[in-house]
Amino acid sequence: MELAGQKALVTGGSRGIGRGIALELARRGADIVINYNSNSTAADEVVAEIEKLGRKAVALQADVSDFAAAGALVKGAVDALGGLTILVNNAGVTRDKLLMAMKEDDWTTVVQTNLGGTYNVTQQAIRSLLRNRDTGARVVNITSVSGLVGVPGQANYSAAKAGIIGFTKATAKELAKRQILINAVAPGFIQTDMTDAMPQAMLDEMLKMVPCARIGEVDDISQAVAFLCGPGASYITGQVLVVDGGLTM
């Protein structure tokens, strides 16, 4: 298995895209720490699925928007796995509103969780990744097409996700010589709990903008992340892999 011996921390890994990423990395041989904020039952279910694959898995609670909590998460992951070679920053929230109706807390919560959380975890994981860089240390940040084109009603989310792209490129330049490769994946419309709750008419309108004429699956994202974590991506860093069915062409 191409990721045998790898030790991965996936933030926001209890459901949706994070869950899919954690399971795919485990299928390819990695041991996994699942980070969750509030849903311990979902996190435990992912752990059980990973253990059925024969890999080690641990669930750790932490609000990544809090710097100290993110540091405790990193320490817990390193202690649980005996090191860290892969970090996937996936944790995020949305509070969609038009700017005129957007409260300060709507802005702060989204930016601090999505962008701040990516900084909080990565900054405190770097030393552990450096100790294991000979085994192929990787960081993959989950951004969004919202950070590429901007979406009305998502000024907070679009700003945070655009910030993650800038963060990815800056840190990739800092750490490339130390053999830590840092990339981002930008999902488009993906079938998750959020899209399941949308009215069919809204989904139909969204699909009109997608050349591939379908909503993406979680597996489309998890496969992209796994590729960037694997040996086939050993000369790729500072890039944004857009997985959107052609939406942003």
> Cα dihedral sign for 70, 35, 97, 149?
positive
> Among 226, 224, 230, 218, which Cα is nearest to 242's?
224
Q: What angle do CA 43, 45, 48 make, to 5 degrees?
A: 115
Q: How many Cβ atoms sit within 10 Å of the Cβ of residue 29?
A: 16
Structural contact between residues 28 and 86, judged by C-beta atoms closer than 8 angstroms? no
From 36, 119, 157, 235, the catalytic residue? 157
At residue 51, what is the residue type? E
Distance CA 215, CA 188 (A): 8
CB atoms within 10 A of CB 68: 11
Residue type, 227: F
**Residue 235 annotated to the active site:** no
Query: How far apart, in Å, are the Cα atoms of 63 and each of 26, 85, 102, 129, 154?
Result: 23, 21, 23, 21, 22
CA angle 29/46/23 to nearest 5° reads 35
Q: Kindly report the number of other CB atoms within 10 A of residue 121's CB atom.
A: 28
Active-site amino acid positions: 157
